[in-house]
Structure 1
């Protein structure tokens, strides 16, 4: 039912925006990409950050079929609205999936725009270096397959960041989601966590490695996705970041590989 999701989302928005929107200095290295974990930091009040996955490709195959999915321009616009809070809107402009039946030598392709996601993040602790945050999202079903969910979805995450040294940071992101059943009717829960290490190689170069486990309690078939990820980020300036990375499936329930490149721009 949609009402509880919107109520929780609205309550967090009020909590986030309780402080006045006072201009603040830009905060360093607060991008949510690359990698499978989410940082607890938020964009400074009045700040705007655009994060875009320029292109990604994922592959999943079995002895019977092969599925290739390309996603172009997946973007999130993040806006700081308080010392400890931000709002964001995300959209995938285009995605295409090609499924080839190896036995019948036939292929099927579907393409379309993705859904729109609205989120609110509220951090706790020092505004410029928080250790924990809560992030709540809701997704509106405006898109189509392969990236559209066909119905409303929502969820919450608890990003945690623990500095181990000046150059190494431990990140954890437990999450719980309400997603659409594989049949297209009704919802079920998925839950899990991502965890990883971020290494500061220099003032302009960062390296991440992480793992993500996600339990999907679909009524038809329960699965557990396990993904190992690695990524690299290059920051030529305080307002620009380029990144690339790969995620690799550890079990049969997970896509075999996903490769991506992206950019982050602070305005």
Structure 2
């Protein structure tokens, strides 16, 4: 109980002034210090946890520029938009030279579940030119086919650590003869990725397709395997080295193609990146050179 000291030195009939004793003052100061120590822990916790929430980043994992697929899926209610602004190919054979150009080729990846995304892709403009030595050139232009797909992650939908999934696609023959396949096709991808460290990641994509025939009537088997190594010198820069082997059993002529590729992606914000890649054919059946560049944005 507090001890009160009555000071009767007040003037006239003024009410006497009360003061705490020295022991009471010491006790009050001690209790105040205990209260401050307890509540300071709460304040410090808020100060520490505050930046953590501010630093939380969205799940931003573009598939491009990699030639392969990715097991990472878009979060529900968000959309990855990946656009190849320019995609140029050149191939020179013994009796013909082919050049093609795609503009605005895009894929929208739409998050529909915790580990599931839907996909829509289309090419608004394409140009193809073929020329024989000493002869006239043939030029075609138009739009591309509509591609629909779904990706289901089976382990770690954020793509961290060991991540794998399955992706199915359907191509509808909505495009022109210039760059369209002329018939529908289906495919299944199985991507597996592993983040070795903050500096290194590896991805393997296996794909099988019922691809449209060259004569635009019917389908045949095609298989594709892509190995990707990603080097991350900083959290904003990724360098890609890739190898691809493709086996195509088209009735007009079976072929085996091999490619090597080098790519670069720069993350310019939490929700956007710029990228580019060059692809070189390693055998006579492969397209000689391909180069493309574009951007990815998360909405």
Q: Distance in 2 between matches of 1:174 and 1:127?
A: 18
Greater length-normalized contact order (CA 8 Å, ≥ 6 residues apart): 1
Name the structure 2 match of 1:17.
none
Q: Measure the CA separation in 1 of the matches of 2:232 and 2:224.
A: 27
2:297 and 2:179 mapped to 1: Cα distance? 24
Q: Which runs of 4+ in 1 moved over 6 A?
A: none
SS of equivalent residue, structure 1 residue 208: strand
Partner of 1:197: 229
Matched, 1:45 2:76: yes
SS of residue matched to 1:190: strand
The two structures have a TM-score, normalised by structure 2, of 0.79
Q: What aligned pairs does 1:64-79 form with structure 2 within 5 A after superposition?
A: 64-79=95-110
Residue 108 of structure 1 is aligned with which of 121, 134, 138?
138
Q: How many residues are paired up?
A: 242
Q: Counterparts in 2 of 1:1-267, with a 5 A limit?
A: 26-28=58-60, 30-102=61-133, 104-128=134-158, 129=160, 131-267=163-299
> Residues of 2 paired with 1:127 and 1:180: CA distance?
31
Bigger mean CA offset, 88-97 vs 126-135: 126-135
* Aligned Cα root-mean-square deviation (Å): 1.3
TM-score (norm 1): 0.88
Residue aligned with 2:234, SS: coil
Contact persistence 2:57–2:270 (CA under 8 A): no
User: 3-state SS of the aligned residue for 1:248?
Assistant: strand
Cα deviation 1:103-129 (Å, max 9, x = unaligned)? x33111001100000000000122323
Contact 2:265 2:273 in 1 (8 A): yes
Deviates more, 1:122-131 or 1:179-188: 122-131
CA–CA distance in structure 2, aligned partners of residues 230 and 53 of structure 1:
16
Which ranges in structure 2 are unaligned for 5 or more consecutive residues? 1-55
Higher alpha-carbon deviation: 125-134 or 249-258? 125-134
- Separation (CA, whole Å) in 2 of partners of 1:122 and 1:217: 28
**Alpha-carbon offset, residue 211 of structure 1:** 0.7
Greater percentage in helix:
2
